[in-house]
Copies of this chain bind each other. A is one copy, B any other.
Amino acid sequence: MAKQKDNPAEYKRGESYLTHVAFDSVVFGFSGEKLKILVMEYHNTGLFALPGGFVGLKENLNAAVRRGLKERTGLSNIYLEQCYVFGDVKRHQPEVLRKIIKANGLAADDKHWLLDRFISVAYYALINYSKVKLQPDTLSDSCEWYALDAVPKLMLDHNLIVQKALETLRKNLDEKLLGTNLLPLQFTMKQLQQVYEAFLDEKVHRTNFQRRMLTSGLLIRNEKQFLGKAHKAPYLYQFIK
């Protein structure tokens, strides 16, 4: 990719991306017994935002989102799903975008394409926290994990997008096979339980949870064990196939 292509703010209107169409991703990771999401901070603005981007003129929408995630996390083959389209007029706040453009030392004349109104397609992604190498894009000075209960105020309607992603996931927890994507290949039942609890935001009954998982037939028990704690060593489990 040419240097110019790395910075969306330098594009002229409609030159390389579809106008009026954007995407934002809520990227979930699990670490330290907590659910976290990726948040970017823009240079010298104090503005926080979800990692997002734009769709190339000859690029599939889903492919564009994968490209965006690849650039920020280094990962391909990410578990990714559409969540909702945010298309209200009131999400158009050119002052906010102007602030970002100016902070990057670019000319923010009134015709700059980033100042236009955008419809944003929201996605959520589930990724393996430990495999990620974070990289901010050229407009941002950081891309960091934030625990769900410590996400800062985000620009535009991005906090709403996070809520919507959570709701969507909560609805179909089981069929999304949370653990497959958020946990390492092998994990303890406790870890899996914590993932569920983090999404549901409530405690689940330990012994019944264990039985439900085991009888589901989706995971197998490895005889290897994880030692080092002052209690019975737990089995390690992994999902089948």
- A119 contacts which of B55, B89, B171, B172 (Cβ < 8 Å)? B55
**Known A19-B20, A20-B21: A88·B60 in contact at CB below 8 Å:** yes
Q: Which of A3-11, A79-87, A232-240 contacts B (4 or more CB under 8 A)?
A: A79-87
Does chain B have a CB within 8 A of A218? no
Q: Which residues of A line the B interface, CB within 8 A?
A: 14, 18-21, 55, 57-62, 82, 84-89, 117, 119, 121, 171-172
- A61 contacts which of B19, B119, B172 (Cβ < 8 Å)? B119
Beyond contacts A21-B87, A57-B117, A61-B88: 19 other A-B pairs, Cβ-Cβ < 8 A, are: A14-B19, A18-B19, A18-B20, A19-B19, A19-B20, A20-B20, A20-B21, A55-B87, A59-B89, A60-B88, A60-B89, A61-B86, A61-B87, A61-B119, A62-B88, A82-B84, A82-B85, A85-B85, A85-B121
**Known A58-B89, A89-B59: A119·B21 in contact at CB below 8 Å:** yes
Q: Which of A20, A55, A84, A121 has the most CB of B within 10 A?
A: A20
